[in-house]
Structure 1
Amino acid sequence: MSKIIFITGASRGFGKIWAKALLQRGDKVAATARNTDSLNDLVAEFGDAVLPIQLDVTDRAASFAAVNKAKEHFGGIDVLINNAGFGLFGAIEETTEAQARQQMETNFFGLLWVTQAITPIMREQQSGHIIQVSSVLGLMTLPVLGLYNASKYAVNGLTETLATEVKGFGINVSLIEPNGFSTDWSGASAAQTEAIEAYAPVKQAFAEGATPDSWGKPEATTDAVLALIDSPNPPLHFLLGKVAYPMVAGVYAARQADFDAWKEVAEAAHGH
């Protein structure tokens, strides 16, 4: 049975690839982008099955209007894929207020607005699946991506809470947490801070830490994402790519070691 999907950030990268895969298998897709010209090829190939919507997710009113337009057009929404976002590269000290706010406005608040718009529709339907595209960097951090890390940690905290609040309404919630993939995220879609020379060694070490094999192929993700969408019992956390699991496992093991090492001191601080 075909599904109705609402996907943000569908102009390129994961959003474009997944939108096309969904349309190819017969689903209907409301695809949003800042510039809908980027969706013309999907419209030409799939016709009425795709509804292009111009949307800047940082505009809360526009996000609600876009979701309502999709609902009215298709009669409902089965799945939300909150994919819009970008990467901000640079040391925390280098980051301007405008850059920090824009990172959070897009990656966190934009996701929040679309989630708020779609939740009452799914609650009324007593069904739906909210999928937030986070990152492995919502579970661990890397240097030179401080504000991006923070935005994804915020997304994860919000989404874990959401899952507990809407479970009784028949709404599933999932976080897709990819490792690095060869999309425009680190290229044309990325933003850069103005460099402070003192951080050059940190940036060099970061750049040298990745090998060609570290970056996954975006087109290879489609089967996994379709399986997530089709699962009757989807996971809350869904790591994407072969690098993600060992990265996260190592970080969590180190955290547990810290917790254990300071357990007695922490317990004594309780006071009774």
Structure 2
Amino acid sequence: MAKVFLITGASRGFGKIWAEKFLKRGDKVVATARNTNDLKDLVDQYGENVFPLQLDVTDRNAAFETVKKANEHFGRIDILINNAGYGLFGAVEETTEEQARGQMETNFFGTLWMTQAVLPIMRAQKSGHIIQVSSYLGLITLPILGLYNASKFAVEGFSETLATEVSGFGIKISLVEPNGFATDWSGASAVQTESIDVYNPIKEAFMASATPDIFGDPEATADAIVKLVDAENPPLRLLLGKMAYPSVKKVYEERLAGFEEWKEVSEAAHGK
């Protein structure tokens, strides 16, 4: 049976690649973008199986209205993929209030609003799968991406909690955590802070480490996402790419070692 997907940020990158993958196999997709003209090629090729909707995910009312329209159009929403987001590049000290709030409004609050909007529908259906496009930088950090890291850590926190709250309603939650991929996430979609010279050496080292070989092929993620959405018992977390697992494993081992080293101090702080 064909599934009904609602995908935010479907005009480019992962969102578009995954939308096309689902459409090619006969699924139906509600595709959202800030500009629906960017979805015209999908509509031209897949016709009535695509329902394009204009959406700025930072607008909570618009998020709820979009979910309502999607449900009315296809009669259900089987899978929500919260993909809309962007990267903010710059040192924490350099980040303006506007930039910090903008990063959280899109990456965190946009994801939260869409999730809240779809939950009543999925509860009524007694089924559903919400996929949050997080990042391996929601588990570990890199310099020059402090606010991006923070936004994805926040998505991880509320989504893991949500999974424990809605499992009894037949709703599944998955966090997809890619490492770097060759999308425009760090290009046209990115925002840059105004540089403070003292951070230039850190930025230069960061850029030097970003060699082409560490970036995955975004097209290769499509099969993994299909396996995720078709799984009877999907995982809470799915890392994507060859860099993610060893990076996360190394950091978590270091964290555990630090906890162990300070264990006596930690326990003594409990009191009696």
TM-score under structure 1 length normalisation: 0.99
Secondary structure in 1 matching 2:157? helix
2:31 is the alignment partner of 1:39: no
Aligned-pair distance for 1:185?
Answer: 0.4
Q: Which residue of 2 aligns with 1:203?
A: 203
Summarize deviations over 1:148-194 as a string: whole Å, max 9, x none.
00000000001000100000000010000000001010000000000
The CA RMSD measured in Å over matched residues stands at: 0.5
How many pairs were matched up? 272
Task: State the 1:210 CA deviation.
Answer: 2.3
Is 1:84–2:84 an aligned residue pair?
A: yes
Q: Give the structure 1 partner of residue 21 of structure 2.
A: 21
Q: What is the match of residue 263 of structure 1?
A: 263
1:162 is aligned to 162
Letter of the 2:14 partner, please give it. Answer: F
| Pair 1:99-2:93 in alignment | no
Measured in 1, the distance between the counterparts of 2:200 and 2:245 equals 29
Unaligned runs of 5+ in 1: none
Cross-structure match for 1:245:
245
2:214 pairs with 1:234? no
Q: How does 1:110-149 map to 2 (within 5 A)?
A: 110-149=110-149
Structure 1 partner of 2:217: 217
Indicate the residue corresponding to 1:53 in structure 2. 53
Deviation at 1:29, TM superposition (A): 0.2
The structural deviation recorded for 1:212 is 1.7
For 2:101 and 2:270, how far apart are their aligned partners in 1?
37
CA-to-aligned-CA distance 1:227-247 (integer Å, 9 cap, x gap): 000000000010000110000
Match of 1:191 in 2: 191
Deviation at 1:211, TM superposition (A): 2.4
CA distance in 1, matches of 2:171, 2:196: 46
Letter in 1 for 2:22: L
| 1:194-217 per-position Cα deviation (integer Å, ceiling 9, x unaligned) | 000000010011111222221001
Aligned partner letter, 1:62: A
Cα displacement string for residues 111-145 of structure 1 (whole angstroms, at most 9, x for unaligned residues): 00000000110001000000000000000000000
Q: Distance in 1 between matches of 2:155 and 2:244?
A: 18
Cα deviation for residue 32 of structure 1 reads 0.3
Over the matched positions of the two proteins, sequence identity in percent amounts to 69
**2:74 corresponding residue in structure 1:** 74
> Could you tell me which amino acid in structure 1 is paired with residue 197 of structure 2?
E
